[in-house]
Structure 1
Amino acid sequence: MQIYPFRALRYNTAVVDLEDVVTQPYDKISPAMQDAYYARSPFNLIRVILGKREPDTADDNVYTRAAAYLADWRQKNVLEEDNAPALFGYAQRYTVPGTTEVRERRGLICLGHLYDYAEKVVYRHEQTLSKPKSDRLSLFKATRTYCEQIYMLYADPAFTVEQLIFGNNTGEPATPPDQTVTDEYGVVHMLWHVTDPRTINLIVTALQDKKLIIADGHHRYETSTAYARERATELGLPDSTTHTATRTEQVYGADDGAPSEYADEHGQTTLPAPPFPEAAMMMTLVNMDAPGITILPAHRVVFGLPAGAVPNFLERAGDYFDVTRVDATHTAQDADAAKAQDAEQIEDASALLAPLNQTESVAFLAATRDGNYLLTAKPAAIEAALQTFTPRQRALDVVQLHGLVLEQLLGLSAESIRNQQNLRYLRSAPEAIAQVARGEADIAFLVKPVTLEQLQTVSLSGEVMPQKSTDFYPKLLSGLAFYALD
Structure 2
Amino acid sequence: MSLIQPFAGLRPAPGRAAEVAAPPYDVMNAAEARRMVEGRPWSFLHISRPEVDLPEGTDPYAPAVYARARENLERMLAEGLLLRDPAPRYYVYRLTMGAHRQIGLVASASVAAYDAERIKKHEFTRPVKEDDRVRQIEALNAQTGPVFLVYRATPAIDDLLTEVGATPAEVDLTAADGVRHELWTLADTARIAHLTAAFEALDALYIADGHHRAAAASRVAAARRASGTASGDGFLSVIFPHDQMQILDYNRVVRDLHGLDVDAFMNRLSVAFAIEGSPVPVRPEKPAEFGMYLAGHWYRLTLDPGRIPHDDPVARLDVSLLQDNLIGPILGIKDPRRDERIDFVGGIRGLEGLVKRVDAGEMAVAFSLYPTGMRDLMAVADAGEVMPPKSTWFEPKLADGLVSHILD
Q: Is residue 231 from structure 1 mapped to residue 221 from structure 2 by the alignment?
A: no
Q: Secondary structure at the match of 2:223?
A: helix
Q: Secondary structure at the match of 1:450?
A: coil
Q: Secondary structure at the match of 2:403?
A: coil
Residues 233 and 402 of structure 1, relative CA distance in 2, 3 Å threshold = farther
Residues 121 and 212 of structure 1 are in contact (CA less than 8 Å); yes or no, is this contact kept in structure 2? yes
Quick check: 373-382 or 442-451, which moved more? 373-382
Q: Which residue of 2 aligns with 1:163?
A: 159
Note the C-alpha offset of 1:401: 1.8
Choose the corresponding residue for 2:212, options 219, 223, 245.
219
Note the C-alpha offset of 1:36: 3.2
Q: Is residue 38 from structure 1 mapped to residue 5 from structure 2 by the alignment?
A: no
Q: Is residue 369 from structure 1 mapped to residue 295 from structure 2 by the alignment?
A: yes
Q: Distance between the aligned counterparts of 1:304 and 1:39, measured in 2?
A: 39
Q: Distance between the aligned counterparts of 1:411 and 1:425, measured in 2?
A: 16
Residues 363 and 447 of structure 1 are in contact (CA less than 8 Å); yes or no, is this contact kept in structure 2? yes
Please give the per-residue CA displacement for 1:10-56, whole angstroms capped at 9, x wherever unaligned: 11235xx3222211111212456413321132121112212336365
Choose the corresponding residue for 1:472, options 394, 397, 403.
394
Q: Is residue 308 from structure 1 mapped to residue 308 from structure 2 by the alignment?
A: no
Residues 21 and 40 of structure 1 are in contact (CA less than 8 Å); yes or no, is this contact kept in structure 2? no
Q: Distance between the aligned counterparts of 2:62 and 2:331, measured in 1?
A: 45
TM-score using structure 1 length: 0.76
Equivalenced residues, count: 399
Q: Is residue 80 from structure 1 mapped to residue 1 from structure 2 by the alignment?
A: no
Q: Secondary structure at the match of 1:277?
A: coil
Identity of aligned residues (%): 26
Please give the per-residue CA displacement for 1:233-254, whole angstroms capped at 9, x wherever unaligned: 2228xxxxxxxxxxxxxxxxxx
Q: Secondary structure at the match of 2:157?
A: helix
Q: Secondary structure at the match of 1:167?
A: helix
Q: Distance between the aligned counterparts of 2:113 and 2:92, measured in 1?
A: 26
Q: Distance between the aligned counterparts of 2:288 and 2:184, measured in 1?
A: 41
Note the C-alpha offset of 1:431: 0.9
Q: Distance between the aligned counterparts of 1:233 and 1:379, measured in 2?
A: 53
Note the C-alpha offset of 1:64: 1.4
Residues 197 and 391 of structure 1, relative CA distance in 2, 3 Å threshold = same
Q: Distance between the aligned counterparts of 1:61 and 1:423, measured in 2?
A: 34
Residues 380 and 103 of structure 1, relative CA distance in 2, 3 Å threshold = closer
Q: Is residue 447 from structure 1 mapped to residue 375 from structure 2 by the alignment?
A: no
- The aligned amino acid for 1:19 is A
Note the C-alpha offset of 1:224: 1.8
Q: Which residue of 1 aligns with 2:232?
A: 278
- The aligned amino acid for 1:455 is L
Residues 123 and 212 of structure 1 are in contact (CA less than 8 Å); yes or no, is this contact kept in structure 2? yes
Q: Distance between the aligned counterparts of 1:286 and 1:112, measured in 2?
A: 13
- The aligned amino acid for 1:391 is D
Larger radius of gyration: 1
Matches within 5 A, 1:247-266: none
Please give the per-residue CA displacement for 1:264-298, whole angstroms capped at 9, x wherever unaligned: xxxxxxxxxxxx32211000011124xx4211111
Residues 116 and 225 of structure 1 are in contact (CA less than 8 Å); yes or no, is this contact kept in structure 2? no
Please give the per-residue CA displacement for 1:110-144, whole angstroms capped at 9, x wherever unaligned: 10001466724111233433432232222222222
Choose the corresponding residue for 1:288, options 223, 237, 242.
242
Q: Is residue 419 from structure 1 mapped to residue 338 from structure 2 by the alignment?
A: yes
Residues 20 and 40 of structure 1 are in contact (CA less than 8 Å); yes or no, is this contact kept in structure 2? no
Please give the per-residue CA displacement for 1:345-404, whole angstroms capped at 9, x wherever unaligned: xxxx3xx22xx31xx451211211253332211133455xxxxx9622222111112333
Q: Distance between the aligned counterparts of 1:309 and 1:126, measured in 2?
A: 35
Q: Distance between the aligned counterparts of 1:228 and 1:72, measured in 2?
A: 26
Residues 258 and 331 of structure 2 are in contact (CA less than 8 Å); yes or no, is this contact kept in structure 1? no
Structure 2: gaps of 5 or more residues: none
Residues 186 and 163 of structure 1, relative CA distance in 2, 3 Å threshold = same
Note the C-alpha offset of 1:220: 1.3
- The aligned amino acid for 1:147 is T
Q: Distance between the aligned counterparts of 2:147 and 2:324, measured in 1?
A: 28
Note the C-alpha offset of 1:454: 1.8
Residues 4 and 204 of structure 1 are in contact (CA less than 8 Å); yes or no, is this contact kept in structure 2? yes
Q: Secondary structure at the match of 2:102?
A: strand
Residues 82 and 93 of structure 1, relative CA distance in 2, 3 Å threshold = same
Matches within 5 A, 1:1-20: 2-13=3-14, 17-20=16-19
Please give the per-residue CA displacement for 1:305-331, whole angstroms capped at 9, x wherever unaligned: 655376554332222222223233xxx
Q: Distance between the aligned counterparts of 1:113 and 1:67, measured in 2?
A: 25
Residues 456 and 227 of structure 1, relative CA distance in 2, 3 Å threshold = same
Structure 1: gaps of 5 or more residues: 96-101, 237-275, 329-348, 384-388
Please give the per-residue CA displacement for 1:211-245, whole angstroms capped at 9, x wherever unaligned: 10111111211222233223222228xxxxxxxxx
Q: Distance between the aligned counterparts of 1:398 and 1:111, measured in 2?
A: 32
User: What is the root-mean-square deviation of aligned Cα atoms in Å?
Assistant: 2.5
Please give the per-residue CA displacement for 1:34-87, whole angstroms capped at 9, x wherever unaligned: 133211321211122123363659986222111111122212222111111111
- The aligned amino acid for 1:201 is A
